Amino acid sequence: MNEQNQHDDHSYALNLLDELQHISQVERGRKGYFCPGCRQRMIARKGDIKIHHFAHDPQDVERRGKCSYSDETIRHKLGKEILQHLKHVKVPSLRKYPADGQSGGVQIIRESWTVEADSVAVEMPFYENEEGKIVWGRDLDWKTDSGKFLQIQPDVTFFDETGKPILLIELVATHKISEDKYLKIRNLGIDTIQVSLPTGPSPEIEETFHKTARTKWVYNYERENTEYQHVPPRAGQDISLGDEFEKGLANFERTYECKAFELKEAIRRFRRYLESEQLQALENQSTKKYDELREIQQHIESNGENYRKQLTERSQQDLNQREQDLTRLKLSLFSKEENLKKQTKIWRDDINSKIKALDTKKVLIEQQAKTRLTTLQSEFENWEQTQNLYQIELQNSEQKKNDMDNQLNPKRLILMEKQTLLQKKSQQLTAKSSQLRSKRQDYQMNMQKLKNESELRMNQEKTAFDQNLQNLNKTLEQNLTETENSLLEQLRIEISEEHQDSTEKLKELLKQGDYSTLSLLQRNLKENCEKLEANLIRDLTRNGYRLEDFLNKMK
């Protein structure tokens, strides 16, 4: 059971939208996660003790059977897709290490750089054809192309704009690589790196291709063809695990196993050549020629001595002719040799004269260079003197500036203090102005309110007073005669005159907006009314009337 659980810890699962999710991107529990391999339900386990992971739902164990899904497969798939999209990868620096038993430090051939591809292929097969050349392609027909020998099928291949492979990329889970695979890569002669993929989500895998921490060189043509130049080891220099990996690969070619593999590879190629159609055709042709020679030999033997004599004479004639041709060729070669010697002498004399001319020109150029150098030195000395004078003038100017600053500093401080005081006063005036503006607005609002209230009150009192006055006039006209009560008639006239004057004054004051006078008139009017009422009561009492009887009689 423990072994099963150990193999059932996964970092990736599919969601309901068939999207690949990392364990760090999801919620715990049964939330619609499925295995990318068997498509059965999975549980996101994110506890506090064990590492967060996906596991197959125990309820589906009986029907799902054995699942071959692994995180490494998913990481490989993501890595290939990301590289196809990016079309570039950062590779580490090229380093050359001393051989075992030699002292020295690490030689840096080239610093790290970014390799960019025009096109990217995934799992492109590389073959060795019948002629021993390395070719690549996916159109392999095992029936017609049986002579091809598969060398390697890298995870990712970068091609340039001409379609030539420039970089092979192996995506691995560890730093280990087999000796057989390394030697095949070395036999290809194409730059190769291996990238150790992290267990994190897709962005973390993509970040790996922008850095070199998890990238190592498996093979590099420039490094293999560069001789190690002794470099003194730096103090405290230590070789990391990644450097040990590259150093081990660099020194592997010196080992017995490497030499044995190369010899084995050469024997295999020789055997393939012996078994090739080209060699078979050559053997068939040789056999055919041998049969023809045998027939000629038998024919010669059958013809006897005559044929031998004819052949000897013909051979002698051919020999004489060839000797003559050889003699003519020797004469021609001798003549050409003489001409070549003459031409060589002419060329040698011409070269010597040109060398002398160049030497003369060199001396002249050196003299001109010395003269120019002397002139430049003189000009440089003059420039230095001028520069020194400028420096002295600059120092004097700085001194004058400092003196003027020292003189102006007290005045500057006084001005700053005055400016500060002015700013404070300005702020105070601004605050007071704001207060006065606010008070003015409040006063205007209060005056408007008072005006409205006074107008309303005056209108109400005027209306009431007019109504009372009309009622009083009507009552007096109906119930009193002039002879019966002259006092009341006189009182009515006075009240009417006074009311008429008061009404005109009120209208005039309302037009002028003199509310203080209106308030004063209001009080005076009230007092006059009270006095009139008191005088009326007193006069009624003198004449033998009571106020109640008078009012009833008026009604």
pLDDT at 249: 60
Q: Domain check: are 131 and 219 in the same one?
A: yes
Q: Domain check: are 346 and 432 in the same one?
A: yes
Question: pLDDT by residue (tens digit) across 73-90?
Answer: 888 888 999 999 999 999
Q: Domain check: are 85 and 33 in the same one?
A: no
53 domain residue, yes or no: yes
pLDDT at 160: 94
Q: Does residue 382 surpass a pLDDT of 90?
A: no
> Which band of pLDDT confidence, cut at 50, 70 and 90, is reported for residue 61?
low
Beta bridge partners of 55: 43
320 domain residue, yes or no: no
| Of 317 and 490, the one with more pLDDT | 317
259 domain residue, yes or no: no
Q: Which of 221, 254, 287 is the last residue of a domain?
A: 254
> Which band of pLDDT confidence, cut at 50, 70 and 90, is reported for residue 481?
very low
Q: Domain check: are 54 and 39 in the same one?
A: yes
pLDDT at 243: 59
Min mean pLDDT across 29-38, 181-190, 357-366, 546-555 is at: 546-555
Q: Domain check: are 15 and 121 in the same one?
A: no
| Mean pLDDT calculated for residue range 41-45 | 88
Q: Does residue 118 surpass a pLDDT of 90?
A: yes
239 domain residue, yes or no: yes
pLDDT at 305: 64
Alpha carbon distance 197, 74 (integer Å) = 11
Q: Domain check: are 162 and 78 in the same one?
A: yes
Per-residue 3-state assignment (H helix, E strand, C coil) for 201-266: CHHHHHHHCCCCCCEEEEECHHHHCCCCCCCCCCCCCCCCHHHHHHHHHHHHCCCHHHHHHHHHHH
| Of 213 and 511, the one with more pLDDT | 213
Q: Does residue 240 surpass a pLDDT of 50?
A: no
pLDDT at 309: 72
Q: Does residue 487 surpass a pLDDT of 70?
A: no
**CA-CA-CA-CA torsion sign (199, 205, 208, 209):** positive
Q: Domain check: are 241 and 389 in the same one?
A: no
| Mean pLDDT calculated for residue range 5-17 | 73
Question: pLDDT by residue (tens digit) across 367-376?
Answer: 888 888 788 8
Question: pLDDT by residue (tens digit) across 513-528?
Answer: 666 776 777 777 778 7
Per-residue 3-state assignment (H helix, E strand, C coil) for 187-204: HHCCCEEEEECCCCCHHH
pLDDT at 87: 95
Q: Domain check: are 109 and 243 in the same one?
A: yes
Alpha carbon distance 321, 315 (integer Å) = 10
Min mean pLDDT across 245-249, 311-315, 449-453, 550-554 is at: 245-249
Q: Does residue 491 surpass a pLDDT of 90?
A: no
265 domain residue, yes or no: no
Q: Domain check: are 133 and 170 in the same one?
A: yes
399 domain residue, yes or no: yes
Q: Which of 254, 278, 296 is the last residue of a domain?
A: 254
182 domain residue, yes or no: yes
Residues 6+ apart with CB under 8 A from 113: 90, 91
For residue 134, what are the domain limits?
74-254
> Which band of pLDDT confidence, cut at 50, 70 and 90, is reported for residue 21?
confident
Q: Domain check: are 346 and 427 in the same one?
A: yes
Q: Does residue 71 surpass a pLDDT of 70?
A: yes
| Mean pLDDT calculated for residue range 13-38 | 85
Q: Domain check: are 359 and 391 in the same one?
A: yes
CA separation, residue 210 to residues 73, 84, 119, 175, 240 (Å): 22, 14, 18, 19, 20
Question: pLDDT by residue (tens digit) across 250-260?
Answer: 555 545 455 55
Rounded to two decimals, the pTM is 0.44
82 domain residue, yes or no: yes
Backbone angles phi, psi at 285, to 5 degrees: -65, -40
pLDDT at 514: 63
Q: Which of 455, 470, 500 is the last residue of a domain?
A: 455
Q: How many domains does the chain have?
A: 4
Question: pLDDT by residue (tens digit) across 143-181?
Answer: 455 445 667 889 999 999 999 999 999 998 765 677 778
Q: Domain check: are 26 and 162 in the same one?
A: no
pLDDT at 9: 75
